[in-house]
A and B are shown apart, each in its own frame.
Chain A
């Protein structure tokens, strides 16, 4: 007598419906954490012993790279139009604070107009630097 085995193997299913949610959350995480635009700009800040950690990072940033090019929020902007652009960005904001990062090798004739523009736009500047031990 031949006994026929019933072959009713079913495929093992791994529910992957939630994988999308996980991936989406990871993407949000990395988007929030990354600072891609600023990393592309070559701007090494100077050192000073008289600085401390900036606790509240301002939402608006002005970066001047080693070639003297100014960037507002990561987008290149002409220094001549910086005052108007910053004024517009700060309109309506309670704290008019701007994070200012300037390359340490720039000369005053290059960064001076940036300071002047921000001053005229009524911005309070958070000048970025790297901490240094006291003494020069």
Chain B
């Protein structure tokens, strides 16, 4: 006599929804992950040439030399630290002025490091100054 066993139901793992689950997880991580956001400040440096016929306007000048030596303003006051410069710029009350009166000319020596230059630029922009660079006739900015 031939005995026939009852056919067992086939075991099955449902994986059709795996892609959907993975997709949802990816969306979740994209939305929640905080990527390395850069720190910095927006800076608009207007470009242009000086009209020699135009009467020179009394703009604030910051002269930067290596070793964080700063000559500030018309009287070339000596400044040796960043907090001192921040204080000076704050006292100018640049934010209350019109845009054309907020121009700060940054004249930097060729050997000044970007580390010092950056701190001065950021201090000027934070105080509300509109930065202007100096370019000498030979093309070299000094």
Residues of A in contact with B (beta carbons under 8 Å apart): 1, 3-6, 10, 12, 14-16, 18-19, 21-22, 25-26, 29, 32-33, 45-55, 57, 97, 99, 101-109, 111-113, 115-116, 118-120, 122, 124-131, 134-136
Contacts and interface: CB of A to CB of B under 8 A. Distances in A.
Interface string B1-20: 11111000011010110110
B45 A5 contact: no
Given A10-B10, A50-B123, A106 B4 contact: no
Contact of A128 (B18, B40, B115): B40
A108 B1 contact: no
A33 B39 contact: no
A14 B13 contact: yes
Interface in B29-57: 29-30, 33, 35, 37-47
Contacts of B23: 21-22, 25
Given A14-B15, A104-B118, A108-B108, A119 B35 contact: no
B76 interface: no
Nearest to A106: B114
Interface of B: 1-5, 10-11, 13, 15-16, 18-19, 22-23, 26, 29-30, 33, 35, 37-47, 68, 81-83, 86, 108-115, 117-119, 121-123, 125-126, 133, 135, 140-141
Contacts of A26: 22, 26
A1 B47 CA distance: 105
A22 B45 contact: no
Contact of A18 (B11, B16, B112, B121): B16
B30 A128 contact: no
A134 to B, nearest CB: 7
Closest 5 CB pairs of A and B: A18-B19, A109-B110, A136-B82, A50-B122, A50-B126
Given A50-B41, A101-B38, 17 more contacts: A21-B23, A22-B18, A22-B22, A25-B26, A33-B35, A48-B118, A105-B113, A107-B113, A107-B114, A109-B110, A115-B141, A124-B44, A125-B42, A125-B43, A130-B39, A134-B83, A136-B83
Contact of B45 (A29, A104, A109, A119): A119
Contacts of B121: 127
A131 to B, nearest CB: 5
B119 A97 contact: no
A107 B110 CA distance: 6
A18 B119 contact: no
B33 A46 contact: no
A6 B122 CA distance: 84
A111 B122 contact: no
